[in-house]
Amino acid sequence: GLLTEHLHQLLSRRGFRKTAHCGEGQDEKRFFYEKEKLGIFGAHIIHSAVAVLLLAGIITAVGGRFYDFNIREGETISLKGTEALLTLEKFVVIPGLIKEKAEDYASRFRVNRPGKPIEWQTLKVNAPVRIDGVTLYQQRFSLDIDELRIAIFNGKGKQPLKVLPVALGQEVVIPELNIALEIKDFIPDFSIGENKRVSTRSHFLRNPAALFEVRSTTDAALPVRQQWVLRGFTPHVKAGASAEDLQFMLDNVRFHYTSGIKYTKNPGRPMTLFGLILLLIGSFFSSCQTYRGLVFRIRIDSAADKARVAVRVLKSKHLYTLEKELDEVVQEYKLKVEGL
């Protein structure tokens, strides 16, 4: 009794728990001690996690939908795979600390469902929105020009001779002035760099400018005149020989934003998350829980007044540390027994 009691106390202090025992006779007993039993299941959990992740991948490949789409301000679309109608009410470019650069941008959506209250959602970069099982990601945006209004002056008065709407890339013929005008390019924030290259400093309409060409409709031999026009004043004319007495100004800009969004519907997402959680749990059990199983056989020789203790290892991944621990257990047990 004292021998087994001391053995039990010694192993309990080291984290071992007695899980079973049996007696093969009056003078011989066996005791089973185990430590960190959860480590046994680590490999099994990891294998199960891999199987779950593979199944999630198959479900995603078969039933998942992933594509990009564009929606302009004020446009309403049907969100595929749901009953929701999505309306882009407003798109906003958020300036950063450096005013020339956009730090963030966001889409403000109105979500309509049959028989349900209207819902509002704000979609931002790195802040996806989930609607009826569909996840939307803000990917990009573009500033699209609807119409440019060009004012034409003759240099003699402050009132323009004509103000006409022009679309980007469209040629407009003005018969009364014998010229044809075409917008070639548009920049929202006009800037000229050190190398005299024209560029835009930001996505905001701080200093909009349009590049257009003017040609004579009566004399084809005259060279085409090309120049940048800015809003509010007439810039320097780079070159030109036709309609030299005319000056041009960008009077107004009508534009809209288009939001680029990534659509993802992944039916395997919950299973993927479950598989990843299993993988983490299995990895923890495998690396932090080192299972050790020991079988102690105690045989008492009453005639010789002696006792013999034998130890057998059931399973262990780290034999060196196990051997070291067993040596310490044996030494402590000997001291206890010799003191009886």
Amino acid 265: pLDDT: 93
Question: What is the pTM assigned to this prediction?
Answer: 0.64
Give the model confidence (pLDDT) of 199-231 as tens digits. 888 778 888 999 988 888 888 788 888 888 888
3 pLDDT above the threshold of 80:
no
Mean pLDDT is lowest, of 27-31, 119-123, 273-277, 306-310, for 306-310
| Confidence label for 41 from pLDDT (cuts 50, 70 and 90) | confident
Cβ-based neighbours of 296, under 8 Å, separated by 6 or more = 7, 30, 31, 33, 309, 310, 311
Nearest Cα neighbor of 321 from 30, 36, 5, 45 is 36
**pLDDT tens-digit readout, 265-298:** 999 989 999 999 999 998 888 877 777 778 877 7
pLDDT for 238 equals: 43
CA-to-CA distance for 334 and 43, rounded, in angstroms?
A: 36
Q: Decide if pLDDT at 63 tops 60.
A: yes
* pLDDT score of 244 more than 60: no
Alpha helices in the chain (DSSP H): 2-13, 42-63, 269-288, 319-338
- The DSSP secondary structure of 17-74, one letter per residue, reads EEEEEEEEETTEEEEEEEE-GGGGGHHHHHHHHHHHHHHHHHHHHHH-EEEEEEEETT
Beta-bridged to residue 69, according to DSSP, are 261
| pLDDT score recorded for residue 312 | 78
Q: How many CA atoms lie within 13 A of 117 on its CB side?
A: 2
